[in-house]
Amino acid sequence: MNSKKAPQKLLPCLLVLVILSGGIASPLLAIEPKEILKRSLEAQFQLDFEGIQKTEFRLPGRKYIITTRIIHQKPDFTYTATLAPSRVKGLVTLDDGKFHIWHIRGSNKFKFSLSLNSPEAREIKRKSLNLRLINYKISRLLDDYITGRPVYVISLFPKHPDNRRRKVWIDKKTYLPLKEEDYNWQGELISSSFFTEIHFDRRFSKERLYRDFPRRSRKKVFSQERFLNLKDLRRKIKFPVSSPHYLPPDYEFQEAVLLFKGRAVKLTYTNGLGVICLFQMPANIKLEGYFKGAHPLVWRKRGKTFNLKGDVPRKELIKIKQSVK
């Protein structure tokens, strides 16, 4: 009799054990916030989606709200059409992994720049993510919903207080970021971007989307080139390139871009989120569109004109400026 009862008792015991172990194991199995961020970057290259995205952007004294329809086809094709404000309604952009093209529908205006989806751009994005993982305290906040989809909410808080912060909402199923809020070092919201509508696995005819764009000779108009180190850049450029000897904590070199067929250079530095750009060009090229002498971050030195931009405190920018040699 005993031998018969034993298995009957064992079953509920086992059940309890299974439930208990599950309860203990689930926090252990829970996905790390850093891993979520990594997956969310890769997700951006591996998904087909279409969505409506709203971006709120604050510049000093002004606020822009832009609504854009975005179509992304893996791995490297992105098409956007601006829906509002009406001033830019006809604006469409296309990124095919080679170029990023802006165009106003029905006009002959268009503009080429470097692709944000090219292999180099991805490499830069991955490096930048790694920096983010090093320079930021990454934590998971309470889960939330965006357009009815469950999302992880991840907070990125800088280890150094002078740097930019971010909160990002990541889709639990696909790992695509559905919302992103950036704050400056003072904690003020500077930009917020979120989907108001999102659909996955939609395929579009690229041909049809290309039709919005004039097929101009790309070689002739394209005047930018990207370098991942200064050595290669210096070999290519006609004037000596200066770089800052001081950078704010956690910042490092990201990339150099040749503009206007080598007439000007942009050097970019990042800590993973924030960006500092130093522009320079020979002084015989006129810089227009600002009030002469009143812009402390535009200056001339040794036959070159410089312009510095970054979202770090003013005193840091001045320090960088003084260190440019």
Tokens of 183: 């704050």
The gap from C-alpha 250 to its chain's centroid, in whole angstroms, comes to 18
**In the complex, minimum distance from the CB of residue 180 to other proteins, in angstroms, rounded to a whole number:** 6
**In the complex, minimum distance from the CB of residue 59 to other proteins, in angstroms, rounded to a whole number:** 6
| Nearest residue (CB) to other proteins, 30 versus 109 | 109
- Contact flag: residue 264 with other proteins (CB under 8 A): yes
β-bridge mates for residue 199, sequence order: 50
For residues 103 and 113, is the Cβ–Cβ distance under 8 A? Answer: no
Q: What is the DSSP letter of 240?
A: P
Number of Cβ atoms within 10 Å of the Cβ of 69: 15
- Contact flag: residue 132 with other proteins (CB under 8 A): yes
- Contact flag: residue 277 with other proteins (CB under 8 A): yes
List binders of other proteins among 57-96 (CB under 8 A).
Answer: 57, 59, 62, 64, 66, 68, 70, 80, 82, 87-88, 91, 93
- Contact flag: residue 207 with other proteins (CB under 8 A): no
Cα dihedral: 101, 104, 110, 114 (round 10): -20
Residue 2, H or E segment: helix 2-29
Concatenate the DSSP letters of all residues of 124-164 into one string. Answer: HHHHHHHHHHHHEEEEEEEEEEETTEEEEEEEEEESSTTS-
β-bridge mates for residue 258, sequence order: 225, 265
**In the complex, minimum distance from the CB of residue 25 to other proteins, in angstroms, rounded to a whole number:** 32
* Contact pick of 193, 198, 312, 321 for other proteins (by CB under 8 A): 193
- Contact flag: residue 101 with other proteins (CB under 8 A): no
The letter for the amino acid at 147 is: T
* Contact pick of 209, 247, 272, 312 for other proteins (by CB under 8 A): 272
The stretch near other proteins (CB under 8 A) out of 1-9, 135-143, 231-239, 288-296 is 288-296
* Contact pick of 167, 287, 313, 319 for other proteins (by CB under 8 A): 287
For residues 47 and 78, is the Cβ–Cβ distance under 8 A? Answer: no
- Residue found by looking up tokens 């971007």 in the block: 193
The count of chain residues that interact with other proteins, using the rule CB under 8 A, is 67
Q: Is 229 helix (H, G, I), strand (E, B) or coil?
A: coil
Tokens of 138: 């990454």
- Contact flag: residue 291 with other proteins (CB under 8 A): yes
Q: Is 21 helix (H, G, I), strand (E, B) or coil?
A: helix
**In the complex, minimum distance from the CB of residue 239 to other proteins, in angstroms, rounded to a whole number:** 13
- Contact flag: residue 174 with other proteins (CB under 8 A): no
- Contact flag: residue 243 with other proteins (CB under 8 A): no
Q: Is 111 helix (H, G, I), strand (E, B) or coil?
A: strand
**Site residues, other proteins (CB under 8 A):** 44, 53, 55, 57, 59, 62, 64, 66, 68, 70, 80, 82, 87-88, 91, 93, 102, 107-109, 113-114, 116, 121, 124-125, 128, 132, 177, 180, 182, 191, 193, 214-217, 220, 254, 257, 259-260, 263-264, 266, 268, 270, 272-275, 277, 279, 281, 284-291, 294-295, 298, 307, 309
